[in-house]
Amino acid sequence: MNKKIITISREFGSGGRTIGRMVAERLGIPCYDNEIIDKVALESGFAHDYIAERGEYALYGSWLGNAFSVGGNKGLSNQDVLWVTQRKTIREFAERGPCVIVGRCADYILQDKEILKVFIHADKQTRAERIVRLYGERDASPEKRLKEKDKRRSAYYRFYTDMEWGKAQNYHVSLNSGELGVEKCVDIICSLY
Amino acid sequence: MNKKIITISREFGSGGRTIGRMVAERLGIPCYDNEIIDKVALESGFAHDYIAERGEYALYGSWLGNAFSVGGNKGLSNQDVLWVTQRKTIREFAERGPCVIVGRCADYILQDKEILKVFIHADKQTRAERIVRLYGERDASPEKRLKEKDKRRSAYYRFYTDMEWGKAQNYHVSLNSGELGVEKCVDIICSLY
Q: Which residues of B touch A179 (CB under 8 A)?
A: 1, 172
Nearest CA in chain B to A190: B188
Nearest CA in chain B to A124: B169
- Whole-number CA gyration radius for chain A: 17
- Decide if B192 and A184 are in contact by the 8 Å CB cutoff: yes
The ipTM is 0.86
Cβ neighbour number for residue B158 with a 10 Å cutoff: 13
The overall average pLDDT reported for chain B is 88
Q: By C-alpha distance, which of A125, A128, A131, A160 is closest to A54?
A: A160
Nearest CA in chain A to B166: A168
Q: Which residues fall within 8 angstroms of residue A131, CB to CB, at 6 or more apart?
A: A12, A13, A142, A145, A146
**What are A95-119's pLDDT values in tens digits?**
999 999 999 999 999 999 999 999 9
Nearest CA in chain A to B116: A179
- Decide if A173 and B175 are in contact by the 8 Å CB cutoff: yes
**pLDDT classification of A61: cutoffs 50, 70, 90:** very low
Q: What percent of chain B has pLDDT over 90?
A: 55
Q: What percent of chain B has pLDDT over 70?
A: 90
Nearest to B174 among A1, A174, A179 (CB): A174
pLDDT above 90: residue A21: yes
pLDDT above 60: residue A78: yes
Give buried/exposed letters for A174-183 (b at 16+ CB in 10 A, else e).
Answer: bbbbbbbebe
Distance of alpha carbon B62 from alpha carbon A142, whole angstroms: 45
Distance of alpha carbon B51 from alpha carbon B44, whole angstroms: 9
Query: Is the Cβ of A2 closer than 8 Å to some Cβ of chain B?
Result: no
pLDDT above 80: residue B12: yes
Interface of B with A in 163-182 (CB under 8 A): 166-169, 171-176, 179-181
pLDDT for A2 equals: 57
Query: Is the Cβ of A188 closer than 8 Å to some Cβ of chain B?
Result: yes
More reliable by pLDDT, A30 or B79: A30
Query: Is the Cβ of B154 closer than 8 Å to some Cβ of chain A?
Result: no
Interface of A with B in 100-129 (CB under 8 A): 119, 121
The one-letter code for the residue type at A161 is: T
In angstroms, the first-to-last Cα distance of chain B is 7
3-state helix, strand, coil in chain B (%, to 5): 55, 10, 30
Q: Where are the alpha helices (DSSP H) in A96-141?
A: 106-109, 124-135
Distance of alpha carbon B120 from alpha carbon B33, whole angstroms: 15
